[in-house]
Amino acid sequence: MKFPKMIIAASSAAIILITIAAIWIFKSGFEPKLKQKIHLLKAETIPLRFKIISKQDGKMLIAAKFFNLDGMDAGRFETNYKDGEIKFHYVKINIEGRNIFLPEEMETSTGKIALEKYYFKDDFPQTYTSRLIDTVLKKELEYMFKILKNEKNEVFEKYYGQISYGSVSLTFPWERTTYGLKTDINGEISLISD
């Protein structure tokens, strides 16, 4: 009868060791690799530029273009709106002191335009593509954006970083002047003009 007791004891010891190993792996390995690689993203970016193409009878035609981290085209759109203020709403994610900036919508006197459809592809913002981003960082960013889209802020912030929402506005922009949304090294979002 010693043989079954030895099997039970060995099985119990194996289960305990596996449980301890799983807990150790979970505790030590759950820190997203994104936190380790976030410094590889550019600190200052201008992911969106726009220009008033024409003004006529109190209406403006605006052309906007999104850019990736390499300065390449990441999406575009054109729209008409009544003369007046343009406001851009955004989401900013601070991870280990580095900021990820996502323009969310453009608001004018005519209404709001959701911007995600112009620069997201397969649930990933093309403004965060770059030839300098390795596959590990790209996969971590993809995973983070999926969590951001599907989870509550508290869950997201527990594992990644602080989320904040804000807006910047421009009253009566000049025709033919190019404006841009810029995030600087300190995480400040501002409207600039060329």
Q: Does the structure show a pLDDT above 50 at 158?
A: yes
Q: pLDDT per residue over 75-88, tens digit each?
A: 999 998 887 789 99
Q: Does the structure show a pLDDT above 80 at 136?
A: yes
Mean pLDDT of 166-178: 87
Q: What is the pLDDT of residue 121?
A: 92
Q: Does the structure show a pLDDT above 50 at 188?
A: yes
C-alpha atoms less than 13 angstroms from C-alpha of 48 in its C-beta half-sphere? 29
Among residues 65, 113, 87, 46, the alpha carbon closest in space to that of 172 is found at: 87
Q: What is the pLDDT of residue 3?
A: 57
Q: Does the structure show a pLDDT above 90 at 180?
A: yes
* Pairwise CA distance, residues 138 & 125, whole Å: 11
Q: pLDDT per residue over 8-62, tens digit each?
A: 666 666 566 565 654 544 444 445 677 777 777 888 899 999 998 988 888 889 9
* Pairwise CA distance, residues 117 & 75, whole Å: 9
Q: pLDDT per residue over 65-75, tens digit each?
A: 999 999 999 99
Q: What is the pLDDT of residue 20?
A: 60
pTM attached to this predicted model: 0.78
Report phi then psi at 97, rounded to 5.
Answer: 85, -5
